[in-house]
Amino acid sequence: MIRHGRDTPLRRRTGAAISFAAAFLGLASAQEESSRADFHAIEQSIEAGDFEGASRAIADWKKSPSPSPETLAKILNLEGTLEFTRVNTEASLAAFSEALKLEISAPLRTDLLYNAALVAGLSDQTEAYQSYSTQLSEAAGPNSNLPGDLALERGLTEASRSSALAFETLETFLHRFPDHPRVADAEISLAELYLIQVPPQPVAARDHIDAARARQLTLNQREWLDDVAIWVEVAAQDPTAAIQRSDQFLEDWPQSKRRPEVLMVLGENHFRIEDYANAMMQFEQVATEFPDSPLAETGLFFAAKSASLTLLSENQNKAIALWTVVADRGGPLAAPARHEIGLLELNRDDFDAAIAAFDVVAAYPGTDPQLRIAALADRGEALFAKSSAAANDPITLQAAQEAFAQIQADPAATKSWRLQAAVWEGKCLEALGRTEDAMKLYASVLQDSIPAGPVAAVPVAEFDWYFRAGLAAIRLLQRQDKWREAVEIADQVAQTGGPRATEAAQIGEKLRLRHFIWQDPAN
């Protein structure tokens, strides 16, 4: 969604109509004051998302005995706003249209025409939009900004829905209303639209940012523009410029609601340039300053990741402490945090701690299947490393082999994971002295798991682990002086056409030259 921090256009217009409820007739009766309070309560219910409460209040008002046309029109205006907020444009337009059939004051009619035109435009009812917008222009008069407001709100609402129609609507607004006081809103919104394209278009976005900056801006517009300017640099893949923009934003707008997000961007870009100390500080600041923010957990997670990459022992301990906090919270990053703890402990050769962490991840309820498979694979590697440190302890090796066999039997495992697990299981079998079983496993992989389909469509990991299976088989065959069989496997791997096919072909050629193995002329 495009962020521009504004109320919905209908809510704003409805608020204007309600505040005018008594003033335009000069009424000050207790009944009128009560009506105004009731209308305001309904509007607050809509803004708070209490749609059922607002709907009941509107229904009660419509049942009241003989409401005046003006009162009924205001209720219908609120009903239209409610349905618009519910994204029920058909019911919304019907409510506004019904209200416009009543004998009502000119200001209220103008508001209703505005709302009806906006909803018609957003629901692609071109004929109705043209009719209501024409009536609005006539009712508002030549010096009114309302026609421009309508065009702008239509474009901004389309932009908030990431609709491609917003480009034309906003560009048309800029052409028709170049002196409108909110031209900058259109320019900034267009910049955001260019940033969410695939791929992003930072050059076009920067042009609109520059055009907006040349205007007289309100404080809200300046803050919005400065925020979007950060994302322009992110899209341009210029982390240094993104860091500078983010630092400036935080200095200029210390109380901004966008501060948590900007701190995350700042941390991410320090991370990109491998300035892990500063990245850690920014990510941790998100969680410290905004503990209730949805970004707090993510901030802690990446603060830990940054700390783990500084390679300082005290920071690695801090990384484990931060990941433990994330894991103990039980949020969506709990399992990934435990997995990262396991990887860091494995890197520090604390095999038992690593295995314990991977066991927790694999048993975590609701863990993403691919993360569970990764944890099983890492558990197997940790067991293998532990056995190697203990002179190939057979019990630990057997546990590692079983972990890799479990992955191959898991229906959630992709072909890449199964190939990786098979190669690792083969290494376990070799370490256990079961060379013949290992060779059978490698041979079955090479025969049954040949990468299929266009090369570009096959994951690189699939080619890589297929190559490794071939390399392991070649190594075992060389130990047995089975040179011709080794050459045949090298040729088979080379024919897959993957990223390491050339390397496999070179291995086969070296074996031929070294051992005088030539292709049979009959073949």
Q: What is the pLDDT of residues 294-351, one digit of tens each?
A: 999 999 999 999 999 998 889 999 999 999 999 999 999 999 999 999 999 999 999 9
What are the tens digits of pLDDT across the range 167-188? Answer: 999 999 999 999 999 999 999 9
Report the 10 Å Cβ neighbour count for 404. Answer: 27
Length of the chain equals: 523
Mean pLDDT, to the nearest integer, of 60-77? 87
Structure tokens at 207: 């042009």
Question: Residue 27: helix, strand or coil by DSSP?
Answer: coil
Helix (H, G, I), strand (E, B) or coil at 466: helix
d(C-alpha 333, C-alpha 398), whole Å: 32
Residue 317 is predicted with a pLDDT of 95
Quick: pLDDT tens for 90-116: 999 999 999 999 999 999 999 999 999
Domains and CATH numbers, the chain: 1-144 (1.25.40)
**pTM for the structure as a whole:** 0.79
Q: Sign of dihedral through CA atoms 290, 294, 299, 304?
A: positive
What digits encode the pLDDT tens for the residues 120-179? 988 889 899 999 999 999 998 888 899 999 999 999 989 998 999 999 999 999 999 999
